[in-house]
Structure 1
Amino acid sequence: MEGQTGPMRVLVTGGSGLVGRAIERVVKEEGGAREGEEWIFLSSKDADLTNASETKAVFEKHRPTHVLHLAAMVGGLFRNLRENYDFLRKNLAINDNVLHTAHEFNVVKVVSCLSTCIFPDNTTYPIDETMVHRGPPHSSNFGYAYAKRMLDVYNRAYFEQHGRLYTSIIPTNVFGPHDNFNIEDGHVLPALIHKAHIAKRNGTALEVWGSGRALRQFIYSLDLARLCLWVLREYDEVEPIMLSVGEEEEISIKDVVDIIVKASEFTGPVIYDASKSDGQLKKTASNAKLRRYRPDFSFTPFHKAIKETCDWFEANYDSARK
């Protein structure tokens, strides 16, 4: 890559989160790292990235050539509704500090992580990379969404003014080992796995919030990790790239529940509380751009990935985030 001599030294922000842990596993256990490469996984204990001097100190210490920027203040639907100002301000600060410091330290490439929830609320489907800024995001999480959208704006500005190859990925709903399985503030899939665990243990019904009709595309954290390595090494566009299974893999929450029930061997009744919100009924994303680059990439079958996640949660119940 241009301007790059010698092995990569990769700094992963948010290194102890769902995606960071998956990348660490791919790098360390699947031979994802190449010879001479150095991988540094940062957690929030290592530096407060909302603080410019702490961000600078951590770059000074590790001197990365590449950055995978996963760190963010995140939360589920109900926390976003309560704290839009905090989500906006903290994520803007994190992103400004990480990108500005990367630029100052002459980092060759930064790959930042966006989210499909940043897309316009009123849109046509499927959504793709060109539609990020075409209208306001859903009102429930506008703070987080605008802060994440600004990463794309930063990337374009750094490229135009400084020739930097800073880019971003947009994964669909990520799940896997080391997720946050909190029932109140977590995302739908890990929350359901946790609920199924409790219902099985207590011999009670599994209660699902909403009708189960909503459709989602899910990506297994280990598949996303493998694709992150490819983006870091091979993808040379400033424009973002959607990392997702195909539109035909879109699945209803009800089907997800059935697969979790089977994987966790839960035999009790399942009740749907339709008085609770379904959220957006669909957010269908196109992975056509990814398929142009990687027609060969094979995703882990959904039921297998769910089974691995359920088994991990059972085995690590005491230490899992919940």
Structure 2
Amino acid sequence: MTIEPKIFVAGHRGMVGSAVLRHLERRGCRNVVTRSHRELDLTNQAAVRAFFDSEKPDLVYLAAAKVGGIHANNAYPAEFIYTNLMIEVNVMQAAHQNGVQKLLFLGSSCIYPRLAPQPMSEEALLTGTLEATNEPYAIAKIAGIKLCESYNRQYGRDYRSVMPTNLYGPGDNYDLSNSHVLPAMIRKFHLAKLAARRDIDSIVADETIHGAIPCDIKTMIGLDPYAPITRDSAITDTSPVVTLWGTGTPYREFLHVDDMASACVFVMNLDKPTYDANTQPMLSHINVGFGEDLSIRAAAELVAQVVGYSGEIAFDTSKPDGTPRKLMDSSRLARLGWKAGIDLKQGLEQAYSNYLSKESRR
């Protein structure tokens, strides 16, 4: 009788972790262990060690992380580097001490230099200066890659790393104070569409479900920026202009989170000779991307189309753009036999449907 391995998905309530969990369940994996942040604080070394001592998982997907967009990374650099370093160190050390031979670590495309040659290959790591707006987060993720490589080199572990491009989809964060670019666009265009219809009830519901609407967005949709939003609030402008950060000229690549989960499980299940033949002891990470990018302006126009917003789109050029371009070279993963299957328009339609479904359940 074959004993099914016990799998620990760290960060199962996050966007990526929940997608990995769904993918494993679809594959028929039943012996999966999860813990919420309330049940297990991964920054607490003693608690993490006790969890591994008790549960003894065989495989670990390390998807837990503190994440956010440009604003959040600028505002909370200490929390981004501290939290992510602590999670990585605690989980990997406890996994090693408890004999976990296989672990998959999820990094980020921001590990690459700001002006890395495009598309960015795995070899670009540590060859130049990082983007200043998310340097602390990037350094933490680079440390995670090097932790994996170090346990592999010194102890013969099989700890692997995947570097996703910009992700979106079910489970995304739509809080406008710390969301990434696509969910922020979806919510801004949705609120503008509601304002054009004078649908204050739906705007109230949106704030309840997705978090406080900042003062600048209240102004954008014709509401008093300093007053609480209630069903009695008056919308004074039914032709809102959606303003986005930067110039709209940077290029970004986007990958649906269900594709990312598929790639994670694919890489985790590659046999070791195949994986080792495609990596190096000190260059072991694998890029995961869609393979195409587009400008932020083009992305905004596509999101507006999906949401059904037909008003004006403006750009605040006083705000930072971030890295000029971030296209991943995913040829290594393609040679191994995996490629993305969800195109951007289809994925955005799914994401917006998921966004609306939360409101329909209110």
Tell whether 2:327 aligns with 1:284.
yes
1-structure distance, mates of 2:107, 2:33: 21
Tell whether 2:48 aligns with 1:55.
yes
Is the CA contact (8 Å cut-off) linking 1:217 and 1:244 kept in structure 2?
Answer: yes
Normalising by structure 2, we get a TM-score of 0.81
2-structure distance, mates of 1:304, 1:318: 21
Q: How many Å apart are 1:319 and its aligned residue? A: 8.3
Match of 2:8 in 1: 11
Query: 58, 67, 79: which is aligned to 1:86?
Result: 79
Match of 1:271 in 2: 314
Q: Report which stretch shifted further, 144-153 or 55-64.
A: 55-64
Matching residue's letter, 2:303: I
Matching residue's letter, 1:66: L
1-structure distance, mates of 2:123, 2:310: 45
Match of 2:290 in 1: 245
Is the CA contact (8 Å cut-off) linking 1:260 and 1:310 kept in structure 2?
Answer: no
Q: Secondary structure at the match of 2:326?
A: coil
Q: Secondary structure at the match of 2:174?
A: coil
Structure exhibiting the larger radius of gyration computed from Cα positions:
2
Q: Secondary structure at the match of 1:141?
A: helix
Q: Report which stretch shifted further, 72-81 or 159-168.
A: 72-81
Taking a change above 3 Å as real, the CA distance of residues 21 and 274 of structure 1, as seen in their structure-2 partners, is same
1:130-141 superposed matches below 5 A: 130-141=123-134
Runs (5+) with no aligned partner, structure 1: none
Q: Secondary structure at the match of 2:64?
A: coil
What RMSD in Å do the two structures reach over aligned CA positions?
1.9
Is the CA contact (8 Å cut-off) linking 1:223 and 1:300 kept in structure 2?
Answer: yes
1:157-236 superposed matches below 5 A: 157-203=150-196, 204-234=240-270, 236=275
Aligned length: 309
2-structure distance, mates of 1:17, 1:165: 24
Match of 1:111 in 2: 104
Match of 1:261 in 2: 304
Is the CA contact (8 Å cut-off) linking 2:10 and 2:62 kept in structure 1?
Answer: yes
Q: How many Å apart are 1:281 and its aligned residue? A: 1.6
Tell whether 2:345 aligns with 1:303.
yes
Percent of residue pairs identical: 29
1:123-162 CA distance string (max 9 Å, x none)? 2222111222223322222221111111121112111111
Taking a change above 3 Å as real, the CA distance of residues 11 and 319 of structure 1, as seen in their structure-2 partners, is farther
2-structure distance, mates of 1:318, 1:78: 29
Matching residue's letter, 1:129: E
Is the CA contact (8 Å cut-off) linking 2:160 and 2:268 kept in structure 1?
Answer: no
Q: Secondary structure at the match of 2:33?
A: strand
Q: How many Å apart are 1:298 and its aligned residue? A: 4.3
2-structure distance, mates of 1:250, 1:138: 19
Q: How many Å apart are 1:318 and its aligned residue? A: 8.0
Taking a change above 3 Å as real, the CA distance of residues 140 and 298 of structure 1, as seen in their structure-2 partners, is closer
Matching residue's letter, 2:347: A
Q: How many Å apart are 1:163 and its aligned residue? A: 0.3
Is the CA contact (8 Å cut-off) linking 2:288 and 2:328 kept in structure 1?
Answer: no
Q: Secondary structure at the match of 2:322?
A: coil
Moved over 6 A (4+): none
Q: Report which stretch shifted further, 190-199 or 82-91.
A: 82-91
Query: 25, 32, 56: which is aligned to 2:27?
Result: 32
Query: 119, 123, 127: which is aligned to 2:120?
Result: 127
